[in-house]
Structure 1
Amino acid sequence: MDSHAHARYERMPFFLWGYTALLLVAGLLLGPLSQLPAGLSKIILTETALITDYVLVAGPGPALVNAALVTAISILILHFARVPYNGITMVVIGLMSGFSLFGKNFLNIWPILLGAWLYAKSRHEPFSKYAPTGLMATALSPVVSYFVLDNGWGTLPTGILAGMIIGFILPALSAYTYKVQNGMNLYNVGFACGLVAFLVVPLISSLGATPTTQYRWATGCTLPFTVLLVVLCAVLILSGLLLCGQRPAAVLSTYRRLLRTSGRAPSDYLRMFGPAPTLVNAGINGLIGLALILAIGGDLNGPTVGGILTIMGFSAFGKHPANMFPVMFGVLLGSVVMHWSLADSAVQLACLFCTTLAPISGYFGWPYGVLAGFIHASVVLYTGSPVAGMNLYNNGFSGGLVAIVLYAIIIAVIRHRRPEIQDEDYFDIVTHDEPATPRTAYQVTEKKE
């Protein structure tokens, strides 16, 4: 790749470190410095099964500082592994920072990362190929915390070993699960982690462990987190419009093209459209997630802010307002007829993380997106218990189940009037560095006689 190709991404480290600094400053402002060491100690000494809100465990200040530390670690790993900047970079940073508010911390992620590094070494391949997956595989960091911290059962060596095994097997497993979901579930690693958790939890339970789900859910922090998210989203939108070397009108024109894509994985918006519209998309999507939580009377805390940050990360890889709204509406519609309420913490999270199924809406049309959200909100309520909350990406696992079933059913109906859907148009990874012409929702060709 020549120097000109790199020029479009040379400012990306500036934005990533600026985002890390924002998290750190917010954490220092929201918590007395004298309480920071004690708060961070509580975070690393707490078992982290879903739902473990670090804002409740240690306060908003230490929770945000932990997020800043984990984000900094992630940036450094991507840098020293020489991972090229692309949409996945923003996905990883959004996931790592978001889930560092409820489950990941700056210690329990290391064994899994070491396992991913060992996998790369065993295959004699560069770690850059597996570093993003290794970082995302820290969704199973509650397994490490449980092994290390559970009184009378786990130990530090077994916790490290368990994490290394998880990190070692996840790259291969996630590569396989990516195929079976047909690009319809954006949280592919979450689905793979769910499968691993379904094996790990019964195994350790048979050996005498008793892992259980948690319910630590903070309230009363809506105002400071609202201010933080509004500032972050405003900075992203203004940066996209004013700091990327393009006229605002040109950025908005490109953004309208982005909105016409299906979002089916892989849809690397950073490489397809460039940094400017991608940053605008992230800011707008973040405001949508924030508005939704406020509109339903939800709580802004570690898990919900983490969900919003995840949406913003995936704004570089498949999510945009046009394909998210129908899926979100499906969850809201479910609250009218189901025996659960939008006030339930798990449902609040489903309102945000259901957007993992945004490609179903973008690819097949909004009615199917509504259906996907409607089903997902109920399925996700029951997929966390069998794995005792050990998979932080529980919505990714639920989304994978829904995507596999719906894709097969919908395709059987659509093929009657759409003879051939060209999957290869979506599964060819974009390797160029100039913006590509976006694909429309349907890419079909008639069978020739």
Structure 2
Amino acid sequence: MLEGKKIAIGVSGSIAAYKIVHLVRLLVKQKAVVKVMMTPAARDFVSPLTLSTLSKNEVLIDIASGNTWANHVELGRWADLLLIAPLSCNTLAKMAQGHCDNLLLSVYLSATCPVMVSPAMDEDMWHHPATQKNIEQLKAFGHIVLTPGYGELASGLIGDGRMEEPETILRQIEAFFENMPGKDLKGKKVLVTAGPTQEALDPVRFIGNHSSGKMGYALAKECRQRGAHVVLVLGPAPAVMQQDLSGITLIKVVSAEEMYRACMDHFPSADIALMAAAVADYRPATVSDTKIKKQENDLELTLVKTRDILAALGAVKNSRQVLLGFALETNNEEVHALEKLHKKNADYIVLNSLNDGAAFGADTNKITIYSKTGEKTGFASKSKQAVAKDIIDTILKTGTTTI
């Protein structure tokens, strides 16, 4: 089952590191290709020589050694799965906060593959609120977190925090590859919009919204993972939304008009369009060339409609194309979502309700998907990466198009 699968293993400083020796042996026995990296602290618990001998690959510890350096970006893109086991409390905290002070963390932050972690620590450390918050952050990133077992710990206590046994981790890896999406979008072009737009008032002020771009970013990554050629039209989102975009064509825009033009340019050749951006519905009728100064009287603004991107794409869509839009609603949610679905000739509308878990900038989302053929599918609150998978799975399963 694992023959030819490329698995990168990151070992952090924990007494449970001794279990990785057996896990590597089990993986290699199944003909997986295994590469191991270690934090400097992990050397105190397991021998790099043992792991390199069993994996048949050099064990990497330092970013640079002599006149050579370990290409962490290449390793992070090479793997089909990055497993970090044991995951110590310290490495967990660094991953949750995006720290990058060793090779393992550099590979983690560069990885374009799914990530699985197997924590190992003492019971009180595991149950500490800070640790649980960090675990939830990794889950929000879309990572697979294996729950540590109950048993004897290095401290001599009996309790939670024991790293899963190698055989259990092996079964989890097998299940991951058995259930992971294939390249079911290979050869397809997917257009994704993400983030807010900003409509200028003057050189320093604009009308905008709180969209972070996280949902569209997750959709772009999911489609790339499934083999699609992805074009991401990104509004002024935080810089983090521009990381890990290798293999994705990125088009940065600011205004609704710029996003409209980019979408109209790329939609004719797209198989799927996922309109996740929070596009401004109105813009100022005039834009001042200089900063508008505060006056004694109130300031009145005249706003005009921006061009409706979803409706424009729906008007030119052909039978082979899939068009999906989002509806963020505060009242009469289903009525407004269905109205948008039919009025704009979309194939799907994803409903987010501010009354039921939706929030700008959050790492999770709770959605309901409506299709033009009448299906309604609701989902529990999940990480936005997991939501992205649900959206693509729904498009491929419901079969409303010839994709």
TM-score normalized by structure 1? 0.23
Structure (1 or 2) with the greater helix fraction: 1
